[in-house]
Chains A and B, each alone.
Chain A
């Protein structure tokens, strides 16, 4: 198929193939096939402000329609030393957007000579997403501690933002926010707050098909950040033990064949040590 380069190389999104894709999709579905979808993190992400800072939480499942493509993906992204961002929506968009923000924040820090503000990150994010009019499908929760204190913002794909003491987003947001609405209090202690975020993500994991696997937590205070990866959520007789005991399958015969190998050549390559 020959495609001639369009004379206007204006950059940005190209919507040329919409018509072709629609025809392909209809002809594929006639034969019982489906066009591939962009991978979405059907997700539960949450954040809340507690006494000393901010806690962000996320599940770790990435899905492609009904198939789990990544059982332990990382949805809490680094933006600045005390600012992190949870991403939901299209996996690639969330990942790249946060990486762009991280490098912009670093440049901004060098330009101004000041540590970054959470509002600055939110403003840059929403201006970028608004510019792309919703085509960059990332829903983000930005949380962090700066000189003005702990803050939490949500940013939607079309570029709107909300500043709230607790937030949830993703397909499991409804399940998670119900836990927050029930038990959230301002100025909670660390343990109670961590428990609450963990339970909220657990609610998303159990009550939403698009969320699952483990709970990641990120505790941000003015002193620093503690990432708690893959923390199991409290289950009430949830997941069972799938290992089978020895002897479940009977061993009928056993044959051992030793492999004799001779050392031909040995070489050592040292790597640079920082």
Chain B
């Protein structure tokens, strides 16, 4: 084994020779390149997401449910790596469930958000997870907390996330008004998601909506042909 002391270039993660038979996307990590959104209204929150999960250029799941229940009245919207966000959501759901049993009370949305932040910040180097935590509790009503990549935690009345969110900041800023009703919030979310899905290649499929209030959780799906029509080309 005469290893010639040749010029050692910097080597990246691609060490083994490319196997032509196995296409690239079978090796890429699964990502929810996504659009997610959460809006507070008086009495609850409305959350929404698209339904596309991709491995590279291939859509692994076109009807994904990115609105994951963490507790009875607390949901999270997942964006980033599918594996990372699913694992974190499972961990937080367990921790929150345990905490709620200890307290013998429904947990606070703020508690859930802090649990997410704790995991996302501690393992920030290893994780790619952008999460919106939203729900209703008796103390503060409807709340939306944003835990982006890196593990920051901030409460916002309305928040968007994922790769498609960049296309709808302008729409959000101009169309969101404080003190909107639940129906207005649902309409705003559906339209915003449709606009993002139209422009972002990593977002698409159907629009999944949910509204969370004291009375419970109402889930809705808007199929592709039922999406609001946008007047362009």
Spell out A's residues near B (CB within 8 Å). Answer: 1, 18-27, 30, 34-35, 37-38, 40, 42, 63, 65-66, 88-89, 126-127, 129-130, 133-134, 137, 139, 154, 156-162, 164, 170-171, 173-174, 208-210
Contacts and interface: CB of A to CB of B under 8 A. Distances in A.
12 contacts: A30-B6, A38-B16, A40-B19, A40-B21, A126-B83, A156-B60, A158-B29, A158-B30, A160-B83, A164-B61, A171-B26, A209-B20
Interface in B201-215: none
Given A24-B1, A89-B26, A170-B26, A37 B17 contact: yes
A56 B8 CA distance: 47
Q: Contact size class for B?
A: 20 to 34
B86 A159 contact: yes
Interface of B: 1-4, 6, 8-9, 11, 15-17, 19-23, 26-27, 29-30, 53, 55, 58, 60-61, 63-64, 81-84, 86-87, 126
A160 B26 contact: no
A166 B53 CA distance: 15
Contacts of A173: 26, 58
Contact of A22 (B11, B22, B23, B81): B11
B3 A23 contact: yes
A35 B84 CA distance: 32
Contact of B21 (A24, A158, A171): A171
A244 B20 CA distance: 34
B17 A21 contact: no
B15 A25 contact: yes
B55 to A, nearest CB: 7
Contacts of B22: 40, 42, 171, 210
Contacts of A18: 11, 15
A68 B82 CA distance: 33
A158 to B, nearest CB: 4
